Amino acid sequence: MKQFDDIKSGRREFLRSSGYLLMGFTLMPGLGFSTEPDECYSPEQILIADREAVDSWIRIDEQGILTVLTGKMELGQGIRTALMQMAAKELDIDIKQVRIIIADTGQTQDERYTAGSGSIEGSGNAIRNAAAEARKYLLILAAKELKSNVAELSVNNGIVKSAKNQKTVAYKDLVKGKRLEAEVTGKSELKKPADYKLVGKPIKRTDINDIAAAKTHFIQDLRLPDMVHARVMRPPVYSARLVSFPTDEIQKLPGVLKVVVNGNFAAVIASQEFESIKALEKMKQLAKWDSKPITPLPGQLYADMIKNGSAGEIVEGDKSADKKLSENTITLEAEYKRPYQMHGSIGPSCAIGLWKDDQLTIWSHTQGVFPLRSTVSDLVNLPLEKIRVIGVPGAGCYGHNGADDVGGDAALLALQMPGKPVRVQWMREDEHKWEPYGSAMVLNIKAAISEGKVTSWQTDIWSDTHSSRPGGKAGHLIAGRHLEKPFAFEGGGFSGGSHRNSLPLYDFETKNVALHNYKGPLRTSALRSLGAYGNIFALESFMDELAAKAGKDPVRFRLDHLKDARAKEVITTLVTKAGWDSNKKAGLGKGFAFAQYKNNASYFAVKAEVQLDRATRTYRLVKLTGVIDSGQAINPDGIINQTSGGMIQAASWTMLEQVNYGANGVESNSWETYPILRFEDVPDTEVFVVDRPELKPLGAGEAAQGPVSAAIANAIFDATGSRLREIPLTPDKIDWSKIS
Amino acid sequence: MAELINIKVNGKTHRVTADPEIPLLYLLRNNLQLNGPKYGCGIERCGSCMVLLNGKAQPSCVIPGSAAAVYEVTTLEGLSKNNVLDPIQEAFIEEQAAQCGYCMNGMIISAKALLAENKNPTDQEIRQALQRNLCRCGTHTRIISAVKKAAAKLNK
């Protein structure tokens, strides 16, 4: 656990002491490095030419502790443990001797956002290279000490042993009293899979011990000396203007220290948290707003997307597919819909701001401490060097939720309360109504089949943006848009997230994807897997429809269109593990779906089993079985945990979830009005990992989201003959009269 | 406004001066500096804030601290004795039954109440006992395994 009260500790402190080997690296190993050590080189002479140019570090000190600094954020995905494991493995150190410092603009490097399942690939590989090179230096030192050749040395738990004379020396003794610093060349040889001692074996996450024992872990648990509590009053609807506010009455309430009103941004700061909540309730009762109704309403939304979306631009695939399709008769065409859906973090967003000694410090559970720092800089007009953002874990976010917004709230309010830490926590209603949702999407697919094979395929996507992360622009924060002098929201155009995974991995003669951008009524941004969830729902549902049309088994039909060997193996493994070919039972339906996330990352195949209850006209998702190949499995237990979690979350999205809103605002304001899956309805899950120790590790966090949605739709079709093309797949959409 | 509330938490009586309307949750978190119960929804619909009231698992976000004073309140902190964790806490760690872990307080508290009454719950009984507790990461499968493991530990 980070020392929360010691905010002065920083990068310089980390570098100052002596008795260590320090390896500096960037995320692009091999770029701009100075020397490559070899056995004739004396490591004592290595010094980093330009310390400021190096952005991250691993260090071994004379206590034998390995410290890793990473700009990535722990989001409940277990990244801390996985990264520590990678470093420990390369150096042959007991993982208990490893420490990690995560996302802190005062200490770690700028790794932008922890998102897109890229941490293992990016940060992980850089840390591994640094550790491999540190090992090399240490072995050169040890060879000298043990009067042996490097080739004669082996390492176990940080102790180097010579095969020549059986003498040993510990890493910690090799660095004692020395100050060894070097930059990573990226050329050191990584260990071979056969030599791994830690990677590939389940390692327990140490942070889980703290959580189970109720130790301070979450940002919500931080208590700083003299801390005060704030609540922000949000408008009833996005565009509302505050026309009257009872400042004097609120100021008189017990415990209220300050009332802040700036344009449409209104907040209260009180000594005690409950006092701030009571004041907020009063503010909501008395404030008057002028607002414009939201349009279009849900009933007209999908039609409006198609009507007002931009002209389709081919974003992926083969431009000639259109022509091919018109040459052939279109064999099948279908339209799929996905509503606005929320991240629904269990712990509402929270941040603490402190304006003291001309420095603004923000404690935040953001996915990107550096982008939040530059956004706060824009918001409060302070230079970057006066702002420090320290990452502290929050509840799971699953993408861009309210974390950055509340960081902006805390920054504005801290400046109003110099010297005191101001803790801002959103209420449940704020989180539900104000987080940026996963965009609604419409997907139209047309395909031609000839002799049982798909020859051409075209997808049209209508979607709002899947990424409006702040990235330095205060107009992307809710508070920024509500100030008296508002920052404009300048969407950075529409992101590639909309067509993620829309291009089939299958081997068709021609295929293409056209994207129609649409500016919708609700605030949207990155939700776990971005557009891949909706795109794979459509793609893999449509493959099922085509298989049915061609009269083929849906799994066989897919295999017939696949060349990629890893894709095939994931699918055939699932067929075996989940008993795909077992006999059909009455009232039970099975569905299959597959995707390679982003068409370049983890492979995932899933079987869904649903059980019908004709008496109540409902269905139950009984079981989900998944097979995942994420390359080299660093921590298989972590992969299983994340994948199984993704499967259950995706099942919840698919069966239950839709943000409801009306002219006067978002109506999904609690778990009553936006229900998610509860224990009694959660399916059993089973996950199998195809380990590929010879290949690079890939992120696993988002691979399940899309395939699960289609597998459920396909299982419902199998059981009922009804093809549900609009999420959520509620039982009232099934044609029960079709079922005998 | 503020009044004196005598409240027994984790075996110790505390004298707290607070607004009589203050929900037990805020009293525990802020006046007594306990981390176990967490704010999640404020209307007893997510289970993040659960505590044991005379051994029964209950949300703490609505009940006023003054009304809770008639109960013996136990929080997650109160399950471990002298830094030795309760077998249920151990089982959650051994099963790695968390992703973000924000819901874990409510899960362990609900499991504690369940296992006190039912030494060998079935999967279905575990699901029913945890029905009030939301988990957004989808860790349900492991949480069920952890409760089963805890039952086995307690029956040893």
pLDDT digits (tens, 9 = 90+) for A140-163: 999 999 999 999 999 999 999 999
How far apart, in whole angstroms, are the C-alpha atoms of residue A181 and residue A160?
Answer: 20
List the one residue out of A539, A577, A578 whose CA is nearest residue A558: A539
Can you give the pLDDT at residue A304?
98
Q: Which residue of A has its CA nearest to B36?
A: A214
Can you give the pLDDT at residue A8?
40
- A529 and A665 in one domain? yes
Count residue pairs from A and B with Cβ separation < 8 A: 166
Q: Do A212 and B34 touch (CB under 8 A)?
A: no
Q: Which of residues A199, A234, A256 is at a domain's end?
A: A199
pLDDT beyond 80 at A701 = yes
Name the band, by pLDDT with cuts 50, 70 and 90, for residue A275.
very high
Number of neighbouring beta carbons within 10 Å of residue A2: 18
Q: Which residue of B has its CA nearest to A431?
A: B41
Q: Which of residues A168, A199, A230 is at a domain's end?
A: A199
pLDDT digits (tens, 9 = 90+) for A357-381: 999 999 999 989 999 999 999 999 9
Can you give the pLDDT at residue A629?
97
Distance from CA of B20 to the nearest CA of A (A): 11
Can you give the pLDDT at residue A17?
61
- In this structure, is residue A601 part of a structural domain? yes
pLDDT digits (tens, 9 = 90+) for A676-699: 999 999 999 999 999 998 888 888
Flag whether residue A678 sits within 8 Å of chain B, measured between CB atoms.
yes
- A582 and A554 in one domain? yes
Can you give the pLDDT at residue A2?
40
- In this structure, is residue A525 part of a structural domain? yes
Nearest to A346 among B33, B126, B136 (CB): B136
Q: Are strands A441-450 and A332-338 parallel, antiparallel or unpaired?
A: antiparallel
What HEC string does A505-521 produce? CCCCCEEEEEEEECCCC
- Exposure b/e, A312-332, CB count within 10 A at least 16 = b: beebbbbeebbebbeebeebb
pLDDT beyond 80 at A53 = no
- A575 and A538 in one domain? yes
**CB < 8 Å to B100, chain A:** 75-76, 346-347, 393-396
pLDDT digits (tens, 9 = 90+) for A121-146: 667 777 888 888 888 889 999 999 99
Q: Do B92 and A676 touch (CB under 8 A)?
A: no
Name the band, by pLDDT with cuts 50, 70 and 90, for residue A77.
low
Q: Are strands A265-270 and A256-262 parallel, antiparallel or unpaired?
A: antiparallel
Q: Which of residues A368, A399, A434 is at a domain's end?
A: A434
A window 274-303, beta carbon within 8 A of B: 274-275, 277-278
CATH number where A228 lies: 3.30.365.10
Asked if residues A125 and A133 have their Cβ atoms less than 8 Å apart, the reply is no
Name the band, by pLDDT with cuts 50, 70 and 90, for residue A177.
confident
pLDDT digits (tens, 9 = 90+) for A384-434: 999 999 999 999 999 999 999 999 999 999 999 999 999 999 999 999 999
pLDDT beyond 90 at A105 = no
For chain A, give the percent of residues with pLDDT over 90. 68
Can you give the pLDDT at residue A586?
81
Taking residues A557-572, report their average pLDDT. Answer: 97
- In this structure, is residue A305 part of a structural domain? no
The position carrying tokens 């504690």 is: B112
Q: Do B80 and A213 touch (CB under 8 A)?
A: yes
Distance from CA of A174 to the nearest CA of B (A): 36
Alpha carbon of residue A593 to chain centroid: 22
**CB < 8 Å to A682, chain B:** 127, 138, 140-141
Asked if residues A635 and A196 have their Cβ atoms less than 8 Å apart, the reply is no
- A146 and A60 in one domain? yes
Nearest to A273 among B30, B33, B41 (CB): B30
Taking residues A459-481, report their average pLDDT. Answer: 94
Can you give the pLDDT at residue A18?
66
Can you give the pLDDT at residue A381?
97
Q: Do A682 and B127 touch (CB under 8 A)?
A: yes
Can you give the pLDDT at residue A6?
38
How far apart, in whole angstroms, are the C-alpha atoms of residue A594 and residue A11?
Answer: 45
Name the band, by pLDDT with cuts 50, 70 and 90, for residue A35.
very low
| Across A393-407, A501-515, A529-543, A579-593, least confident range | A579-593
pLDDT digits (tens, 9 = 90+) for A609-626: 999 999 999 999 999 999
Total structural domains in chain A?
3
Name the band, by pLDDT with cuts 50, 70 and 90, for residue A559.
very high
Can you give the pLDDT at residue A60?
86
Query: Residue A409 is inside which H or E element, if any?
Result: helix A403-414
Q: Are strands A313-317 and A510-517 parallel, antiparallel or unpaired?
A: antiparallel
- In this structure, is residue A608 part of a structural domain? yes
pLDDT digits (tens, 9 = 90+) for A93-102: 998 899 888 8
- A476 and A371 in one domain? no
**CB < 8 Å to A680, chain B:** 127-128, 131
- A496 and A429 in one domain? no
pLDDT beyond 50 at B43 = yes
Distance from CA of A534 to the nearest CA of B (A): 19
pLDDT beyond 60 at A117 = no
- In this structure, is residue A213 part of a structural domain? no
Can you give the pLDDT at residue A328?
64
Distance from CA of A280 to the nearest CA of B (A): 14
Flag whether residue A502 sits within 8 Å of chain B, measured between CB atoms.
no
Flag whether residue A225 sits within 8 Å of chain B, measured between CB atoms.
no
The pTM score is 0.90
Domain that holds residue A563: 441-738
Can you give the pLDDT at residue A301?
98
Domains of chain B, earliest start first: 3-78 (3.10.20.30), 87-155 (1.10.150.120)
Write the ipTM: 0.97
- A601 and A566 in one domain? yes
How far apart, in whole angstroms, are the C-alpha atoms of residue B40 and residue B49?
Answer: 7
pLDDT beyond 60 at A39 = no
Asked if residues A707 and A606 have their Cβ atoms less than 8 Å apart, the reply is yes
- In this structure, is residue A668 part of a structural domain? yes
Q: Do B89 and A213 touch (CB under 8 A)?
A: yes
Taking residues A530-557, report their average pLDDT. Answer: 97
Helix ranges restricted to H, chain B: 24-26, 65-68, 87-94, 104-117, 123-129, 140-155
- Residues with Cβ within 8 Å of B65's Cβ and at least 6 positions away in sequence, in order, are B5, B7, B16, B18, B20, B22, B23, B24, B26, B27, B31
Report the DSSP beta bridge partners of residue A457.
A447, A511
What HEC string does A584-629 produce? CCCCEEEEEEEEEHHHCCCEEEEEEEEEEECCCCEEEEEEEEEEEE
Can you give the pLDDT at residue A353?
98
- A243 and A106 in one domain? no
- Tell me the HSE value of A102 on the side-chain side, using a 13 A CA sphere: 29
pLDDT beyond 60 at A74 = yes
- A230 and A194 in one domain? no
pLDDT beyond 90 at A273 = yes
Q: Do A212 and B89 touch (CB under 8 A)?
A: yes
Flag whether residue A531 sits within 8 Å of chain B, measured between CB atoms.
no
Can you give the pLDDT at residue A16?
58
- In this structure, is residue A207 part of a structural domain? no
- A384 and A502 in one domain? no
Distance from CA of A231 to the nearest CA of B (A): 14
Name the band, by pLDDT with cuts 50, 70 and 90, for residue A205.
confident
Interface test with B, best of A74, A280, A346, A684 (most B CBs within 10 A): A346
Interface test with B, best of A211, A273, A433 (most B CBs within 10 A): A211
- Mean pLDDT estimate for chain A: 88
pLDDT beyond 50 at A31 = no
pLDDT digits (tens, 9 = 90+) for B54-86: 999 999 999 999 999 999 999 999 999 988 999
pLDDT beyond 70 at A201 = no
- In this structure, is residue A519 part of a structural domain? yes
Q: Do A682 and B22 touch (CB under 8 A)?
A: no
Asked if residues B73 and B13 have their Cβ atoms less than 8 Å apart, the reply is no
How far apart, in whole angstroms, are the C-alpha atoms of residue A411 and residue A236?
Answer: 23
Q: Do A213 and B138 touch (CB under 8 A)?
A: no
Alpha-carbon torsion (A303, A733, A596, A450), positive or negative: negative
Taking residues A273-288, report their average pLDDT. Answer: 98
Asked if residues A717 and A589 have their Cβ atoms less than 8 Å apart, the reply is yes
Peptide bond into B87 cis (omega under 30): no
Taking residues A223-252, report their average pLDDT. Answer: 96
Interface test with B, best of A207, A679, A686 (most B CBs within 10 A): A679
Can you give the pLDDT at residue A134?
87
A window 69-88, beta carbon within 8 A of B: 75-78
Nearest to B134 among A75, A215, A671 (CB): A671
- A365 and A483 in one domain? no
First to last CA, chain B: 51
Q: Which residue of B has its CA nearest to A672?
A: B45
Flag whether residue A685 sits within 8 Å of chain B, measured between CB atoms.
yes
- A189 and A49 in one domain? yes
**CB < 8 Å to A230, chain B:** none
Of A324 and A354, the one with more pLDDT: A354
Distance from CA of A506 to the nearest CA of B (A): 30
Can you give the pLDDT at residue A30?
35
